[in-house]
Every structure is written in structure tokens, then in C-alpha cells.
Amino acid sequence: MQAAAQNDAGLVAESLKGNGDAFGKIVARYQSMVCSLAYSATGSLSYSEDLAQETFVTAWKEQRRQRQLAREGAGR
């Protein structure tokens, strides 16, 4: 991956192209923050970890859905 992809915008752009490594870097970069926010809201460490994981799983699935929609739209 190019050096420019190391910033957030570059990682998101690569991730939107289906680059799982870029998405993994986003997760690594923000997992603690998302988990901390969830813990602040719930007071439960295990639930906050589950919420953080579900957040990133949902984000990955939504990216895939957006790519599919873009491909379908491009075919029109």
C-alpha cells in the first residue's frame, strides 16, 4: 500500500475498494476508542467489546453493500 494510504482518508479510500488490510488498519487504529465510548455508555466491558466488534462488522458489510450498489449503478 502506498504511503498516502496510511492516513485515515487514504485508508478509507482503499477500504472502499475492498482492501481488507486497509480496513484492518482502521480497526486497529479506532477499536480502543470505539470500545471506550461503548464502555462509557454501557458500563460493561464485555458488552462494550461486543458493541465495538459489531460496529466494525457492520461497517465492513455496509462498504461491501455500497460497492455492489455502485457496480449495479455503473451498469445502467
pLDDT digits (tens, 9 = 90+) for 19-57: 999 999 999 999 999 999 999 999 999 999 999 999 999
How many structural domains are present in the chain?
A: 1
As a whole number of angstroms, the distance between CA 54 and CA 4 comes to: 28
pLDDT of residue 74: 67
pLDDT of residue 73: 78
- Of 30 and 74, more confident: 30
Q: Is the pLDDT of residue 5 over 50?
A: no
Which single residue is written with the C-alpha cell 471506550? 36
DSSP symbol at 2: -
* Domain boundaries, position 7: 3-74
